[in-house]
Amino acid sequence: MRYLALIVLGMWYLGAQASGALPRGIEQMPPDPVADAPARLIFSRDSNAPNACDVELYVNQQAVAKLGPGERTSLDLPSGELSVAVALSPDGYCGGRGPDVAQSILLRPGETRQFAVMVEPHQVFLAPLID
């Protein structure tokens, strides 16, 4: 009977140790994101753009930010499906006309995504950045 008690006690001790520490090289998975946590979109613009015109960022067809060369911004937005677009600003000599094509993205709660604003002589567009 004494041996049985020692075996049970030993198994309990090993179980308690196993739940607290993971073997070297194995990482614990992060908890699932909170259902109502906002998602984050980060937009950055190259300082070597072919012109100095500002660009406007649109989320769900609403202008939400303006970026000059070398600037960046981050937006905390609700998770779900969103439409994002970029266009030359209508202000100043650039005289943009609004976004041509919007991209549809699906954001999970707590997710962060990054986009580069690409300005070329005849077009402006968003390119996703991969970590």
Contact 60, 49 (CB under 8 A): no
Quick one: CA torsion of 17, 21, 23, 28, rounded to 10 degrees? 140
Residue 6: inside a domain: no
pLDDT for position 109: 93
User: pTM for this one?
Assistant: 0.68
Q: What is the mean pLDDT of the chain?
A: 78
Q: Enter the tokens of residue 98.
A: 């609004």
Q: What is the structure's pLDDT at 1?
A: 57
CATH number of the domain bearing residue 105: 2.60.40.4150
Is 62 part of any domain?
yes
User: How many domains does the structure of the chain reveal?
Assistant: 1
Residue with tokens 């937006």: 75
Domain membership flag for residue 77: yes
Does some domain include residue 15?
no
- Are 8 and 15 spatial neighbours (Cβ–Cβ below 8 Å)? no
Say which range, 19-28, 43-52, 112-121, has the weakest mean pLDDT: 19-28
Within a domain: residue 114? yes
Residue 51 structural domain = 39-129
Q: What is the pLDDT of residue 95?
A: 72
Kindly state the percentage of the chain with pLDDT values over 70. Answer: 70
Residue 31 belongs to some domain of the structure:
no
pLDDT band at 28 (very low <50, low <70, confident <90, very high): low
Is 47 within the bounds of a domain? yes
pLDDT at 41: 94
Asked whether residue 27 is assigned to any structural domain, the reply reads: no
User: In this predicted structure, what is the pLDDT of residue 23?
Assistant: 54
Q: Give the other-Cβ count within 10 Å of 55's Cβ.
A: 25
If you search the block for the tokens 């015109």, which residue do you land on? 53
Tell me the pLDDT tens digit for each residue of 54-105: 899 999 999 999 998 899 999 999 999 999 999 988 877 777 777 878 999 9
* Distance between CA atoms of residues 18 and 16, nearest Å: 6
